[in-house]
Amino acid sequence: MPRLGVNWGFMKFQAPRGTNDVLPSEAMQWRQIERAFEHVMGGMGYGEIRTPMFEEIELFRRSSGETSEVVSKQMYDFHDKGDRHLALKPEGTAPAIRAYLEHSLAQPGQITRLWYFTPIFRYERPQKGRYRQAHQAGIELIGSSSPAADVEVIEAAVRFYEAIGLKDLTVLLNSIGRAEARIKYCQLILDKLSSWLPGQPLESQQRAEKNPLRLLDSKDPSIQAELVGLPSIFESLEPESLAHYRKVERLLERAGISYVQDPTIVRGLDYYNDTVFEIQSSALGAQSSLCGGGRYDGLIQQLGGPTTPAVGFGAGLERARIAREAAGFPLEELSVDVFVAGEPLTESETEAWVRLLRQSGLSATYDFDLRDLKRQLKMADRARATFVILVGPEEISTGVFKIKTMAESRQDEIPREQVVSWLQSRRPRAET
């Protein structure tokens, strides 16, 4: 998006690096995407949750994990005036679970289904599809360890993308097993790298040792070369995890959702176990991941709650919008239903018409200065008005109003009492 800084003569301001202004025509696309999400999740029995923009930093350290890049390098943290150490939320799961526990949303034997929209803040290197303030739509299904819950969550994501018209998506599926299997597997990675690791910078060595799984999706070719021949994490799964995974596969097939098993999907946050998945779109380029999620059966206990299985996903809204644009969905231009053209003599009637039309659910504007008709028609054109209604002394005295349909260069004469219904029945789009 081109950035036009505001020049006040002495100082030029721009949105902070890695953030975006959403301008009106793009905002309409956001709203379409958000509405589709609400609709799909509402239909699946999910309720909305809204959590604060910032939380105690410890919440993220304890949940996403000290070794995840998101926590170790990318958090926007600060001390407030009461010297509390806080962080702008880098993701939505930990805050949702914190709220779930704080407000005792759990009902014995019941499943809790939550959805949310949230900004997320990560100090990343910005590029197309990767921002420092991004936005996610997400869901969390809390209270079931059934493979059917994993499939419900994956299906919810797929149905959402279908609802916004995205096709050619790939569901990448993997299992990273349980903690014990992962500890064994991590040791396998470290053994494989035993001669390479000591030559690396101390910080990389420490990070690798804390969580060797992070190395698997590293883009560094020297790491990848060292890892050649390493069996996949999938091959180290315990029987229970493998059985769970196979059931997920069967249920996905039954739901008609195609997927690709990808052993390199290990996810960037520490709380996952067993099923993990991402949905990718080829339309996105380098930042190809539209959405990511998985099962996190240990997180609720880690945050002080009872052992409770859970599964969820987060979907990047900027990426959904970019993918839609690449798929050919046009940006909608901002428009108005009716431009009311008046004269200084008919000022109060012009205002009354604008008010009446707006109250009738039509969008309407007018020229505050009531300049000559030619200038008002130019304004109407720039505002992309569908109709222009002329409110002159003649129309007022006869009670018959001229209405121009701009796209058709046509003019109709409509009696006062029929104007609103005439316009309502001809406006081209539904109310937004």
With beta carbons less than 8 A apart as the criterion, state whether 374 and 382 touch.
no
**For ligand HAM, the closer CB: 144 or 289:** 289
Nearest approach, Cβ of 130 to ligand HAM (angstroms)? 4
Nearest approach, Cβ of 371 to ligand HAM (angstroms)? 45
Alpha carbons within 13 angstroms on the beta-carbon side of residue 358 total 11
Element containing residue 70 per DSSP (H, E): helix 69-72
Nearest approach, Cβ of 49 to ligand HAM (angstroms)? 12
**For ligand HAM, the closer CB: 153 or 357:** 153
Residues contributing to the site for ligand HAM (CB under 6 A) = 91-93, 122, 124, 129-131, 134, 136, 138, 140, 268-269, 289-294, 296, 312-314, 316, 318-319
- What distances in angstroms separate CA 315 from CA 120, 137, 161, one per listed residue? 11, 5, 10
The three-state secondary structure class of 141 is strand
Nearest approach, Cβ of 429 to ligand HAM (angstroms)? 29
Biggest CA-to-CA distance, the chain: 94
What are 150's two structure tokens?
């994993």
With beta carbons less than 8 A apart as the criterion, state whether 414 and 390 touch.
no
**For ligand HAM, the closer CB: 139 or 403:** 139
Q: Which amino acid is at 44?
A: M
Rounded to an integer, what distance in angstroms lies between the CA atom of residue 121 and that of residue 335?
A: 33
**For ligand HAM, the closer CB: 277 or 387:** 277
Nearest approach, Cβ of 292 to ligand HAM (angstroms)? 3
**For ligand HAM, the closer CB: 291 or 389:** 291
**For ligand HAM, the closer CB: 123 or 422:** 123
Query: Which residues share a beta bridge with 56?
Result: 86
Nearest approach, Cβ of 92 to ligand HAM (angstroms)? 5
Nearest approach, Cβ of 95 to ligand HAM (angstroms)? 10
With beta carbons less than 8 A apart as the criterion, state whether 154 and 294 touch.
no
With beta carbons less than 8 A apart as the criterion, state whether 141 and 111 touch.
yes
**For ligand HAM, the closer CB: 317 or 383:** 317
Nearest approach, Cβ of 278 to ligand HAM (angstroms)? 6
Rounded to an integer, what distance in angstroms lies between the CA atom of residue 247 and that of residue 243?
A: 6
Nearest approach, Cβ of 227 to ligand HAM (angstroms)? 22
Nearest approach, Cβ of 291 to ligand HAM (angstroms)? 5
**For ligand HAM, the closer CB: 32 or 64:** 64
- Helix ranges (H only) for 90-129 are 93-102
- Helix ranges (H only) for 262-389 are 299-302, 317-326, 347-359, 373-382
Nearest approach, Cβ of 67 to ligand HAM (angstroms)? 14
Rounded to an integer, what distance in angstroms lies between the CA atom of residue 132 and that of residue 76?
A: 9
What are 310's two structure tokens?
């859970």
What are 15's two structure tokens?
């949105």
**For ligand HAM, the closer CB: 145 or 360:** 145
The three-state secondary structure class of 363 is coil
With beta carbons less than 8 A apart as the criterion, state whether 375 and 381 touch.
no
What are 148's two structure tokens?
């059917």
Nearest residue by C-beta to ligand HAM? 316
Specify the length of the chain in residues.
432
**For ligand HAM, the closer CB: 65 or 129:** 129
**For ligand HAM, the closer CB: 67 or 405:** 67
Query: How many C-beta atoms surround the C-beta of residue 393 within 10 A?
Result: 11
Closest residue by Cα to residue 73 from 83, 64, 85, 84: 64
